[in-house]
Structure 1
Amino acid sequence: MFKLGKEERNLLTMVPLLREKVRYDEGEALLIVDRSNLVERFSIRYLKQPSVRKIKLDTFGSFVIKQTLANKTVEEISQCLSEQFGEDAEPALPRLMKFLEILESQEWIRWDE
């Protein structure tokens, strides 16, 4: 049968990259996300909301973001996670995939092949 639109891709060989509107502050382990859509710009201007969102990361999340900045594949990140944290990170791959899924749903990462 025909596939409508989406082709199958192997996520283990893909490289997650932070989008341009997302920055990482290594000192405080924060993801800093610019608020740029129309509603957010309105709230910044008229409701005096902050212009960025700051998301505090735990040690695993911080480590994964550092690895994405090094342009590593998902498989390499999973191996590094297991080597760095050992039993504390297990099950490493499902945890990593869930974290990346959350980042992707928020449109904070994009994928490179």
Structure 2
Amino acid sequence: MENYLKLIPRRNEEIKLRKIDGKYYLLIPMTSKLDFLARKLHGDYRRIELDEIGVFVWELCDGTRTIEQIGKKVKERFGENAEPLYERLVAFILELYKRNLVLLGG
């Protein structure tokens, strides 16, 4: 866990956060030729819905803060509602990384 806290996540610039019908979504462009059918059915973007904490974390993934620093900001803003803080935060950021939505440096 300690090793992850020093990583610095940075959003993939191709991914956009948008509010649609009162909910927040990450919009992921479907650019692969394999996405042809999905584009026909769903438009040019895949969507991933984020809750309030997810939106807050996404906006903090700007390439200037470590996961530990992001966690401190989440704790300040959401308090006990964010617990278990670092387990959830690391899992969320690693999932974003696996989907190429953020890059990890540090």
Following superposition of structure 1 onto structure 2, how do residues 73-92 of structure 1 map, counting pairs within 5 Å?
73-92=66-85
Structure with greater proportional strand content = 2
Counterpart pick for 1:32 among 17, 27, 30: 27
Q: CA separation of 1:38/1:96 partners in 2, compared to 1, >3 Å: closer, same or farther?
A: same
Q: TM-score, normalised by structure 2?
A: 0.82
- More deviation, 90-99/14-23: 14-23
Q: Tell me the secondary structure at the aligned position of residue 24 of structure 1.
A: strand
Instruction: Give the match for residue 3 of structure 1.
Output: none
The reply to whether residue 67 of structure 1 matches residue 57 of structure 2 is no
Count of aligned positions: 103
Q: Tell me the secondary structure at the aligned position of residue 20 of structure 1.
A: coil
Q: TM-score, normalised by structure 1?
A: 0.78
Which AA in structure 1 matches 2:5?
Answer: L
How far the C-alpha of 1:71 sits from its partner, in A, is: 2.7
Identity %: 27
Which AA in structure 1 matches 2:76?
Answer: E
- Can you list the C-alpha shifts for 1:41-87, whole angstroms capped at 9, x where unaligned? x2256x45411122221011011001113632100011111111111
Q: Unaligned stretches of 5+ in structure 2?
A: none
The reply to whether residue 43 of structure 1 matches residue 37 of structure 2 is yes
The higher radius of gyration belongs to 1
The reply to whether residue 19 of structure 1 matches residue 12 of structure 2 is yes
Whole-Å Cα distance in 2 between the matches of residues 83 and 26 of structure 1? Answer: 24
Q: Tell me the secondary structure at the aligned position of residue 92 of structure 2.
A: helix
How far the C-alpha of 1:104 sits from its partner, in A, is: 1.4
Whole-Å Cα distance in 2 between the matches of residues 68 and 109 of structure 1? Answer: 8
Q: CA separation of 1:22/1:100 partners in 2, compared to 1, >3 Å: closer, same or farther?
A: same
Q: Unaligned stretches of 5+ in structure 1?
A: 1-8
RMSD (Å), alpha carbons: 2.2
Ranges of 4+ aligned residues in structure 1 off by more than 4 Å? none
